[in-house]
Amino acid sequence: MREYVLVFLIGAVVCFCLTPACRSLALRVGAVAEVRSRDVHDHSIPYFGGLAMLGGLAAAYLMASRMPFLSRYPPVSFDSLVILAGAGVICAVGVIDDLFDLNAMMKIAGQVLAAGILVLGGVRMQWLPWNGGIIALDPAAGILITVVVVFICANAINIVDGLDGLAGGIVAISASAFFIYAYWLTAEEDIARATTAALVTVVMCGICVGYLPHNFHPATIFMGDSGAMLLGLLFAASTVTLTGQVDPTILDDRSGLWAAYVPLIIPLVALGLPFLDMLVAYTRRTWKGVWWFVADKQHLHHRLLQRGHSQLWAVLMMYAWTFLLSYSALALGLFPSPITAAIVIAVVVSTLGFVIMTGWKAPIDTGVDSS
């Protein structure tokens, strides 16, 4: 745990220190978020927060590679380098988008390219629980699922990045729950001495914590697509690598077959708000007869503002909902029992119901900006 704490601190400190320099660079090259009809901010704010996150990620990985515990296991070191390469590619695509406003198809191509780097390096979904058992995925299925997971996570976090401090805080809370579960598997269950998932998630927490002081309301910098897609890829990679480094038969032997679902349930539920917002947004746009990637001003955070909540209060509400969802899912992994499952289901259903009731019943702003 001491090494994980140190890696967390390195990621946080480096990201915090790099963010002002990245802000200055964004101003110098014109990577600035102008005020659009769908935006909440009322003046231009520079991008490139994602570059600072990438720097914190690289520094934390470098530190981990020099530590006796985290550097002891070649799969962790190798997978971390593969993920760093994919993160660099998707961050570069985001930087180009922040500069030149790429169209949706070009951004999707960049996401697929970054996912391709993961699968070429062996980071792909290895197994799934299915029909009362565990099925090993053939390479083609594993690659396809990995690409889809990267696409979903990257776009879900990108969609929720609409208020100061919102995406960074949600990812920090979600990743912290996932880290606790991954660490519990390695330490308490003694399934493996280290996993890439634990390393990636603790670094995610670090870089988000280091970034948030600059982004919390009133923000002086935005992460932009470079940061949102980077965090999405990291979350996807941490989920995928856990299936490659944890033997599902051990989970089956210790806690019953349903425990094999937990490594997939925790990230799904932890990012429940972004996933739900993305699903509703894509459905809403398609129902209105426009392309699913055409941006609008009807996301959950917009609806909370339309109900009269301040930016700060809306962000804190979504933090609280994310905490409830993330740590309810974590409880399911740490204390497996029918009673825990029933409590978790009740918490998740009631939380999502409250989210829908308070968010999507707000007055509708029909303004659409396709830029």
The answer to whether the CB of 315 falls within 8 A of the CB of 169 is yes
Q: Which domain holds residue 205?
A: 2-274
Residue 315 lies in a domain: no
Q: Helix, strand or coil for residue 269?
A: helix
pLDDT at 176: 94
Residue 197 lies in a domain: yes
Residue 363 lies in a domain: no
Residue 339 lies in a domain: no
Poorest-pLDDT segment among 116-125, 256-265, 282-291: 256-265
Count up the domains in the chain and report the number. 1
Residue 278 binned pLDDT confidence (cut-offs 50, 70, 90) = confident
Mean pLDDT, all residues of the chain: 82
Instruction: Name the more confident of 345 and 151.
Output: 151
140-169 average pLDDT score: 89
For 39, list phi and psi in degrees, rounded to 5.
-90, 160
pLDDT at 191: 57
Q: SS3 string of 280-332?
A: HHHHHHHHCCCCCCCCECCCHHHHHHHCCCCHHHHHHHHHHHHHHHHHHHHHH
- The per-residue pLDDT for range 294-331, each reduced to its tens digit, is 666 667 777 887 787 788 888 998 899 889 888 988 88
The answer to whether the CB of 27 falls within 8 A of the CB of 83 is no
The pTM is what? 0.86
Residue 296 lies in a domain: no
Percent of the chain with pLDDT over 90: 37
Residue 17 binned pLDDT confidence (cut-offs 50, 70, 90) = very high
pLDDT at 127: 77
- The per-residue pLDDT for range 153-166, each reduced to its tens digit, is 998 898 888 888 89
The answer to whether the CB of 68 falls within 8 A of the CB of 257 is no
- The per-residue pLDDT for range 210-233, each reduced to its tens digit, is 999 999 888 899 998 999 999 999
- The per-residue pLDDT for range 190-200, each reduced to its tens digit, is 555 567 888 99
Residue 11 lies in a domain: yes
